[in-house]
Amino acid sequence: MDKKHLKIFISAYACEPEKGSEPGIGWNTVNELSMYHEVHVLTRANNRESIEKALSGRENPNLVFHYYDVPKWLSFWKKKRRGYHFYYYLWQYGAYFKYRNFVNTSGFDIVQHLTFANFAMPSLFMLCKPLTVWGPIGYIPIPKPVFKSLPFKIRLKEILRKYFMSFLCHFELLRLLTPRKADFIMESGVASGESSFPSNWQKKIIHQPQTGINTSEPEYQTERKREDDGKVRLLICSEFLHWKGVTFSCEVFSRIAKTNQNVELHIYGSGPLKKQMATILKKNGVSDRVSWKGFVSKREMIQALFDADILLYPSYHHGLATVILQAMYAKLPIITIAGDPIALAVSEGAGTVSSGETMTEVLDDMEQKTRAMIESAELRHLYGENGRRLIEKKYEWNILIGQLSEHLINIISR
């Protein structure tokens, strides 16, 4: 086979059209990659209906889907996020033993474990005969200032999470084998010179961003900004979870709103911390300048990004969120904190990154930088234009997957 047109098998547990996060990463990656190569995708049987609907009327001989799910009587593990990691663990075992002979005997050049490439989880497909690629993947530790400030229950949960991950990495046999058996490891979201893996594995490492957007989709075609009403609109757009920094955002807005009557906060999303967020805003007497929007459609969300002036997103172990790229496209400057892949993207010129030795210092720095951005329309414009250029240069799906294709071709050529 011409090695510039590869035959690739991809394990993509999460892969669905018209979705964000991992499902969107899976869907966009395999569709774009099939423009270059023959791509076979293994995903959950639960995704079949939406995939077949999306592909109806536009046959692509280079893109073939295969489906697998664990027995239905085990599906209770993934309900309400209770044990979805264990469900995924079981899925990997079942999928591997069902498809390993197919993978090993069908002439594939490369096997890639794409989505849900969890740092602490094994990838059994790395045991296959073709060249194997694990990732994009990376480990995101919690910054020390943030960890020290966490409420006791959350801190305890994070400690248990850390030690459980360490146990899997060092004692789960197939997790031990995964990075050793993988011919290459794609690593995402790390700063230059940093890595989640030991130095003796660096010859396997390939750096590849995981998240992109497709701005040719209809939702991106409206660039209408709201009329100038004399207000500066801050935005929270997130599931209300502690590690997404939503309480930090509420605290910073509250400080600023006490002394600046021209700011308002619009909040999109929902989650378990809504009550705590509302308490912070009420305690500081700024609830009357807050608008709770809940979850909205993708089109409405992108319009909200165009209408806002600043996005607050101080997450601390997230990975590069799709909404960050959507904000860049909408020329919306971003405020975040150091220690997360989001900060690496924002630091390229799309906003400001706050830091400090303690969480008090981090929040003080975040407040100061947010105030500076509120007071300067020119600064907001500069960050916004930089963000749009970053999307056009680096984060469009066709650009990202063009780079991925080159990586895979180079792998075969070594």
CA–CA separation, 315 and 333 (whole Å): 15
The reply to whether 150 and 90 lie within a common domain is: yes
The reply to whether 197 and 318 lie within a common domain is: no
Does residue 104 lie within any of the structural domains?
yes
Structure tokens at 56: 């109806």
- Nearest-CA neighbor of 281 among 306, 317, 256, 300? 256
Tell me how far CA of residue 311 lies from CA of 63, 129, 220, 268, in angstroms. Answer: 37, 46, 18, 11
Structure tokens at 349: 């010129």
The reply to whether 223 and 171 lie within a common domain is: no
What pLDDT is stored for residue 112 in this prediction?
94
Low-confidence ranges of the chain (pLDDT < 70): 1-3, 73-85, 117, 189-196, 198
The reply to whether 239 and 293 lie within a common domain is: yes
The reply to whether 207 and 223 lie within a common domain is: no
CA–CA separation, 133 and 380 (whole Å): 40
Does residue 2 lie within any of the structural domains?
no
Does residue 192 lie within any of the structural domains?
yes
The reply to whether 230 and 294 lie within a common domain is: yes
CA–CA separation, 238 and 267 (whole Å): 8
**What CATH code is carried by the domain that includes residue 389?**
3.40.50.2000
The reply to whether 137 and 193 lie within a common domain is: yes
Does residue 239 lie within any of the structural domains?
yes
Taking a C-beta distance cutoff of 8 angstroms, is the pair 29, 404 a contact?
Answer: yes
What pLDDT is stored for residue 1 in this prediction?
42
Angle between helices 246-259 and 359-375 in degrees, nearest 10: 50
CA–CA separation, 298 and 303 (whole Å): 9
What pLDDT is stored for residue 77 in this prediction?
52
Does residue 119 lie within any of the structural domains?
yes
DSSP state of 391: I
The reply to whether 235 and 145 lie within a common domain is: no
Region of 188 (left: φ > 0; alpha: ψ -120 to 50; beta: rest) is: beta
Does residue 1 lie within any of the structural domains?
no
Does residue 94 lie within any of the structural domains?
yes
The reply to whether 142 and 195 lie within a common domain is: yes
The reply to whether 327 and 233 lie within a common domain is: yes
Domain count, the chain: 2
The reply to whether 389 and 402 lie within a common domain is: no
Does residue 133 lie within any of the structural domains?
yes
- Residue-range definition of the domain harbouring residue 203: 7-212+396-413
- Nearest-CA neighbor of 317 among 346, 282, 342? 342
The reply to whether 341 and 386 lie within a common domain is: yes
CA–CA separation, 20 and 341 (whole Å): 17
